Amino acid sequence: AQKITQTQPGMFVQEKEAVTLDCTYDTSDQSYGLFWYKQPSSGEMIFLIYQGSYDEQNATEGRYSLNFQKARKSANLVISASQLGDSAMYFCAMREGDSGGYQKVTFGTGTKLQVIP
């Protein structure tokens, strides 16, 4: 089974509108972390937001928020007030296990977001 599933290969959003990028994950660990990264065409992977499995509140970072639904094993990224510069690939990733222990982060296949003026 895929560890991280991103079912939307591509998404369009109108500038200034909000958009939700879907991510579901599969793990039997109790302690894990979920991340979202942005990859513009230049190639750099830019860290956006992090959610720990024990965090009770949904993570927020500026215009980014992570809609964490633990029972459903989903960690959707919400981008509010989209900007043209948000056009990029977005990757969901998961770290299994405790943050202080063994580390391996698995990535999904990504969603290409295009913001329309």
Partner 1 sequence: DTGVSQDPRHKITKRGQNVTFRCDPISEHNRLYWYRQTLGQGPEFLTYFQNEAQLEKSRLLSDRFSAERPKGSFSTLEIQRTEQGDSAMYLCASSLAGASGNTIYFGEGSWLTVV
Cβ contact 63:114 at 8 Å? no
- Supply φ then ψ for residue 106, to 5 degrees: -110, 135
Q: How far apart are CA 12 and CA 69, in angstroms?
A: 24
Segment contacting partner 1 (CB under 8 A): 14-22, 68-76, 78-86, 106-114? 106-114
Q: How far is the CB of 41 from partner 1 (least distance, A)?
A: 12
- CA atoms of 20 and 84, how far apart (whole Å): 16
Site string for partner 1, 50-89 (x = CB under 8 A): x-x-------------------------------------
Residues engaged in binding partner 1 (CB under 8 A): 4, 33, 35, 37, 42-47, 50, 52, 91, 93, 95, 99-100, 102-110
